[in-house]
Chains A and B, each alone.
Chain A
Amino acid sequence: MALIEARDLSRVYSLDAGRVVALDGVSLDIDQGDFVAVMGPSGSGKSTFMNLIGCLDRPTDGQYRLAGTAVESLDADGLARLRNREIGFVFQQFNLLPRVDALANVELPMIYAGFDRRTRREHALQALGRVGLAERAHHRPMQISGGQQQRVAIARALVNSPSLLLADEPTGALDSRTANEIMALFQELNREGVTIVLVTHDAEVGRHAQRLVRFRDGRVTEDRRQTPVDARDLASEAAE
């Protein structure tokens, strides 16, 4: 059974200027352990697709099952619960809370999952260790570099052990060397079994994924397996 089963997903926005069909009957399955890059120009529907599979939005039409749960039938609380347990988000702008340290940022999803303080601390430190930032646990976002901030954000996405890591232009705000490091981290996590869906318009970034899905005008125009470029090689090249 696929982790993500999308059937004829449509999303139509009703604006003053009329109806805008952002997503037009997309069907897509993504298996557990896959690393998918979703690509396409802006307005192609890839962000809408990501919002839908991220349970931030509900389809106008069609069915979507995430880890066996029918999403379109859930209410706002049910969606929140699913986002909390099954999905880890990584954003282009990191979206860390500036007032608190890295550890507290990573703990955030666990707070809403209802874990006690000690468990949270433990898991958050583990997650930070996974992204190689255990020693930065008590630094605030302002005190660390952009790449490190994105690592903290990835740790936050991982902390509740979700079945899906959803990254929206995760390297868009980083220089190419740091971007390669982050991509290397994604590949490593994928090798460890984390399912990753990465939205990007950067072909260079898309090359690191195992599967490439291309969107245009709200439809899937291309869906193929590819040999991923190992970003760790790029990262070490860049370091030389």
Chain B
Amino acid sequence: MRLIEAIRSALSAIMANALRSLLTMLGIVIGVAAVIAMVAIGSGARNLVDSQIRSLGANLAIVTPGNVTQGGARLGAGAASSLTDEDAQAIRREIDGVVAAAPFVQGGAQVVAGGSNWGTRIYGIDLDWFSAREWDVATGRTFDPEEVRRGDIVILLGQTVARNLFGEDDPIDQIVRVRNVPFRVIGVMASKGQSAFGQDQDDVVFVPLDAGRRRVIGRNYAKDRSVGSIFVKFANESDIEPGIESMTELLRQRHRIIGEQEDDFSIRNLTEIANTATASANTLSMLLAAVAAVSLLVGGIGIMNIMLVSVTERTREIGLRLAVGARPRDILRQFLIEATTLSTIGGALGIGLGMGVAYLVAQLAGWPSLVSTNAIFMAVGFSALVGIFFGFYPAQRAAKLDPIEALRRE
């Protein structure tokens, strides 16, 4: 019997017991829908995490000062003020693959504009910051090289700060005071949204590095060229690991650290953090899919059950088919195709339902919904496999029937 005819005959058998078939399919429908929806939701969540982490900037490493030991007490990472903007320049100059090396200082500050004020983070930065963090102004302009060189008292506001101090008004060319220093607003940064850790990245102001160091951030630096940390941006992800090695080398040289002496700085690969977070999101979505797959399995058992009932009910039909010349393998095939048709139709309905659920959840949670074509193919393939697997035993029982016994059965 040809395949198309076998499928047509399977469909007619399925339609003959429409309600029963539908109920049987329901298991597969729900299973496949669960797989599709869970994978879509999982990858949506992963992408969200991903984009939050990547908003830090791609291919970044950060150099932070190391610990200092005072009288036997080790003060922890960042306690030293060993990094300078000259280190940053050296990194930019001498390390392969470095696109930008952005030294910065940071602190907390109360920003006052007219009658209102706002507590926020203040960063002293140089021009590399903008390329390192892939961050530009929305209105106005960034610092010009001269302003950075001289440490002019000009300021860039983050979106949150601008909104809180000026509301709907244009802050450009207004004066804000930080620690009683009057800064002229020259621009408002583009919005970056939340960081991966839930911080509002727009609640921030930027001033030239020297203006920050000298005038507002009250940290007592041992050297007046010292900076808090340095963001280093690489051209390619593959540059990062070798780059970190040669930076370590370079900084040890510059800081005159020899032999067994401990580094007075540390370098972290931020891309690695992003990858870790992505991996954990991946694990989560795999887990969700695995749970969903269990329900697919349950659906398969439902199909096996109903196929066994069907074989028993149609024993005489099987006997007749054998009598008119069907070979055992024809009978096997007929019931296998019937089970597979049942599960595949269920799978197709499940895809529709799953996509609907994924879309709905994405709408409610505000996530990007991602129904991957892979997941669809996998779901269809898997549900067909479920049909074959769970249809096999009943089909084999049908094929093994003795035609004489089968014809005699009531």
Residues of A within 8 A of B (CB): 51, 54, 56-57, 76-77, 80-81, 83-85, 89, 91, 93, 95, 97, 99-100, 108-109, 111-113, 117, 156, 160
Contacts and interface: CB of A to CB of B under 8 A. Distances in A.
Contact of B316 (A54, A95, A111, A113): A95
Contact of A112 (B12, B13, B317, B330): B330
Interface string B90-107: 000000000000000000
B403 A112 contact: no
Interface stretch (B108-116, B239-247, B319-327): B319-327
Contacts, number: 62
B325 A77 contact: no
A56 B326 CA distance: 12
Interface string B303-327: 0000000000000110111111111
Dominant secondary structure of chain B at its interface with chain A? helix
B260 interface: no
B292 to A, nearest CB: 35
Contacts of B326: 80, 112
Contacts of B319: 95
A99 B12 contact: yes
A109 B324 contact: yes
Contacts of B320: 91, 95, 97, 108
A83 B13 CA distance: 25
A80 B12 contact: no
A124 to B, nearest CB: 13
A76 B403 CA distance: 11
Dominant secondary structure of chain A at its interface with chain B? helix
Given A56-B404, A99-B12, A84 B324 contact: yes
B16 A80 contact: no
B12 A100 contact: yes
Interface in B270-325: 316-317, 319-325
B14 to A, nearest CB: 11
Nearest to A81: B325
Contacts of A156: 324
B5 interface: yes
B3 interface: no
Contact of B325 (A91, A100, A113): A113
A81 B327 CA distance: 8
A83 B323 contact: yes
B11 to A, nearest CB: 11
